[in-house]
Chains A and B, each alone.
Chain A
């Protein structure tokens, strides 16, 4: 199952809809998209993780990097409706309280 990332703009928000497993093989693809997207973000970068059935620590590290990039650019960063496996890995790595998480945007 390849990783697909679609992006949409809503006013001052860019939404990345991620679909597929995020691991050492696919996390570089997500990272590349995020690095390109942060400079284009006016206020908020939202990553929708509803359709991510698996994420490992490389995926989590990518999200952390996204958070730091947004902080440096004074932009907001939020995770939208993370799947249960994604929430689980965030809880296991004790990063579940680091990110802003919303069920809907």
Chain B
């Protein structure tokens, strides 16, 4: 486990989480653009926990973990809120919309699938959610000696 972060489900704490992940990703040979996409997707996952699992309550706990396993970068976002319907996290492609038909919302889940190679959701026990996000073929930068 490279890091485990527990944060209260308060939106004001998301910025700190983004900063931690941004710093963490510097050790990998990922472009700045790619790092931004990953941070954005993790932010979306935490936002979903706040909005849907905890329904806006700021007293829940969200756990964000990061690890590198067999060349894959794996993030796990867990919460103890209302268990999401697995169907809501089914892979969906981001559809192009027009100015006439566009509506706000429904952007987060497709974004997860766009950024990560694998998106897996499980419900540990009778409540809560555990979302695993994987990126394949991620290499560490050579260490300076």
Contact = CB atoms under 8 A, between A and B. Distances in A.
Interface residues of A, number: 27
Contact of A94 (B96, B104, B105): B96
A93 B36 CA distance: 14
A98 B102 CA distance: 8
B50 interface: yes
A8 interface: no
Nearest to B98: A98
B107 A23 contact: no
Contacts of B36: 85, 88
Interface size band for B:
20 to 34
B11 A23 contact: yes
Nearest to B93: A94
A24 interface: yes
Contacts of B110: 93
Contacts of A23: 11, 14-15, 43, 47
A62 B104 CA distance: 7
A92 B44 contact: no
A21 B40 CA distance: 12
B104 A64 contact: yes
Given A56-B47, A57-B111, A60-B107, A95 B102 contact: yes
Interface in A1-28: 1, 21, 23-25
Nearest to B108: A57
Interface in B76-106: 94-100, 102-105
A50 interface: no
A61 B105 contact: yes
A25 B15 contact: yes
A95 B100 CA distance: 12
A59 to B, nearest CB: 10
A87 B105 CA distance: 18
Nearest to A96: B96
A89 B99 contact: no
Contact of A57 (B12, B47, B97, B102): B47
A88 B32 CA distance: 12
Given A25-B14, A88-B37, A57 B98 contact: no
B18 A94 contact: no
B94 A94 contact: yes
B50 A24 contact: yes
